[in-house]
Amino acid sequence: MRVVAICWFLAVSGVATKATALTEICPWSPLQLERVEDRICASQSGESSRLGGPTATQKGFYDSASLQSLWEGPEHCVNDTCIYSSHRIGDGIVLLTTERNAHIASNFPIPSNAAAATLPFHVAEIPGKGIGIVADRSIRKGETILVRSPTMLVQTSPHVGLEPGTRDVLYDLAVEKLPAKGQELFVSQMGKDVYDKIETNCFQMYIDGADESGSHLGCYPEISRFNHDCRPNIHYRITNMTHTTVAARDIAPGEELSISYIELMLSREERRSRLRKWGFECSCSHCSMSDSEIAASDARLRRIEELETALENFNETVVTAETGAQLVDLYEKERLDIYLGQVYTRAALNFALFGEEEKARKYAQAAVDAVERESGANAGDAKAMRILAENPKAHWTWGKRRKGKPGKGK
């Protein structure tokens, strides 16, 4: 599941590093931290400065006042990388990162996992795949299935750059900081050791915009049970460090829930080649089609690429008012449900450019629904499509491609 995008190393200047436990542990709140020198540890008498247990809000996230009391660290520092942990948030969280990144991450809202008893699926053995997730009931398109915080969050640079022996000692210490439930979940993931489990199962994410020092690998053990499918029925997104899965289409009871591990706008051979790094030959329903069906699918993917290029460059010999709708039809025939938000958006804008009011409104509304499923209600494209759906003629794109009236929509 994980994609390595960064391969740079910590400078150690010829000095061998060892994981060394600090003699004193602060019941630490990165929410309250402004400068390193401002850190104040608990009293030596053993009296805890922490507040009572966490308080979940009505929306299912811990409130910031409760979060301030829940963290411990830094511990076992190697260079700038330290362990920060909380055993009272969800099933436990452990961060391996710098103090600055820990401060940023701990400001993020964290789900309380309070709705775990109502999950609409169960874990099952899937023939030919091992462990997977199966629906217990009908799940509607757009229904939120799972919202989780990471069990472990590891900064990418030490993961790549630390000397393996030192790294493995640090990882073992980090896992020990998790409560029993968190340890059980993490250890249950595929992989021979902690490093391998991170490589195989965790998601690349940024906690500080696109800043490379903010690049991390987030481990969500419950999410790692979702198997791959080249035409998945589940969207996922990571907001701050919260992982959300949403149904991309209606799902029947007994149907396996699946996500995609790779980019899907590829031929079967290209997809299978990329998936072999996870140690399997994809046999999903799409990859198992007949040769003639595969040829037709690959032809649709090539046509999608042609139309998208024409729309991007506005090739007047190819693009008509209906080109965006043709693109939507190809995506729907390919069952690429996880990408429909961007496709409906493109179709709506194209109809607006050609002054087609009703079709612009129709596809804009479809875009709002799809983008909200994929990216959440506050996504920029969702907001933009709501404006277009409300009044296509007032949109800045209106009529700019109508023949004889460039840029002068009525």
Are 131 and 221 spatial neighbours (Cβ–Cβ below 8 Å)? Answer: no
Per cent of the chain over pLDDT 90 is 65
Give the number of C-alpha atoms closer than 13 A to the C-alpha of residue 80, restricted to the C-beta side.
17
At 243, the amino acid letter reads H
Residue with tokens 């800043």: 211
Per-residue pLDDT reduced to its tens digit, 261-284: 999 999 999 999 999 988 889 999
Are 261 and 230 spatial neighbours (Cβ–Cβ below 8 Å)? Answer: no
- Which pLDDT score, from 0 to 100, does residue 249 have? 96
**254 contact partners, CB below 8 Å, separation of at least 6:** 134, 135
213: pLDDT confidence band, cut at 50, 70 and 90?
confident
Residue with tokens 């949109």: 395
Specify the higher pLDDT residue, 316 or 146.
146
117: pLDDT confidence band, cut at 50, 70 and 90?
low
C-alpha angle with apex 276: 274 to 280, nearest 5 degrees? 135
- Dig out the tokens for 391 from the structure: 């009044």
CA 118 to chain centroid, in Å, comes to 22
Query: How far is residue 387's CA from residue 410's CA, in Å, rounded to a whole number?
Result: 18
Per-residue pLDDT reduced to its tens digit, 240-262: 889 999 999 999 999 999 999 99
When pLDDT is averaged across residues 160-165 and rounded to a whole number, the result is 94
Residue with tokens 């699926």: 121
Query: How far is residue 43's CA from residue 26's CA, in Å, rounded to a whole number?
Result: 9
Per cent of the chain over pLDDT 70 is 80
Q: Helix/strand/coil (H, E, C) string of 229-266?
A: CCCCCEEEEEECCEEEEEECCCECCCCEEEECCCCCCC
Among 92, 279, 273, 94, smallest CA distance to 190 is for: 279
The model's pTM is 0.78
Are 200 and 191 spatial neighbours (Cβ–Cβ below 8 Å)? Answer: yes
Strands of 331-409, DSSP E: none
CA torsion 39→62→95→86, rounded to 10°?
70
- The rounded mean pLDDT for the chain is 82
**Is 69 a residue whose pLDDT tops 90?**
no
Beta-bridged to residue 122, according to DSSP, are 134
**307 contact partners, CB below 8 Å, separation of at least 6:** 318, 323, 326, 327, 330
Per-residue pLDDT reduced to its tens digit, 143-155: 999 999 999 999 9
Among 199, 190, 159, smallest CA distance to 78 is for: 159
What number of residues does the chain have?
410
When pLDDT is averaged across residues 3-20 and rounded to a whole number, the result is 31
- Which pLDDT score, from 0 to 100, does residue 165 have? 95
- Dig out the tokens for 246 from the structure: 């949403």
Give the number of C-alpha atoms closer than 13 A to the C-alpha of residue 156, restricted to the C-beta side.
22
